[in-house]
A = this chain, B = another copy of it.
Amino acid sequence: MTNQKKNYHHGDLISSLIKAASDILQEEGVEGLSMRKLADKVGVSRTAPYHHFKDKNALLCAIAEAGFKAQEARLASLLSSHEEAEQRFRLYVHQYIEFADTQREVYDLMYGRLIWKTGTPTNSLKAASKQTFKRWLDWVEQLQADNVLPNNNSALRVGQASWASLHGLSRLLIDGIYLDRNDIQAMIEQMIQTLIKAQPASS
């Protein structure tokens, strides 16, 4: 019950809810995001949100979906830059981890257990995630052609495996297992080395 006009009809609750939820998410994490607290913050009664979102799961799915859109947009923006192929990939890796790091709670929703296992991903969310992944695969194909990523397997497999690696690093960050900033940067570099095809000469 903050500073909201007290019209019985709120206007556009639906987007106000997503915005407020995103705020709480960033500040307190999913644990701090309850439907009641959210409703209160928007200045509406406990159950009002349920007329716009089937349940909490649906709300979270909507936020996650927006995350996929954002991630995809970031990739598109990078792909339209005039960088060399390998350099572009390096930038992407850093960008991916940075996204996961700064938007940790959103990232957690996007790829986390809460929605995908405990909850039920919306059809709309599934579609968004699928598309984002497809965009990634398309690029992987290019990267293979440009000899940046290995050709020893299909774009699908290479894309899956390398994405899994990025995901693993992201999770360590998000879940608070690795907190040392310097370590993370160095880990990213090492991972890039492993992922790209041309390894520097050794022994």
Q: Mark each residue of chain A from 148 to 175: 1 if its CB lies under 8 Å from any CB of chain B, else 0.
A: 0011110001101111111111111011
On whether the beta carbons of A202 and B164 are closer than 8 Å, the reply is: no
- A172 neighbours in B (Cβ, 8 Å): 111, 164, 167
A104 to nearest B CB, angstroms?
A: 9
On whether the beta carbons of A151 and B190 are closer than 8 Å, the reply is: no
Q: How many copies does the complex hold?
A: 2
- A157 neighbours in B (Cβ, 8 Å): 186-187, 190
- A170 neighbours in B (Cβ, 8 Å): 168
The 8 Å CB contact of A112, one of B29, B111, B175, is: B175
- A202 neighbours in B (Cβ, 8 Å): 150-152, 197
Tell me the complex Cα distance, A88–B142, Å.
Answer: 34
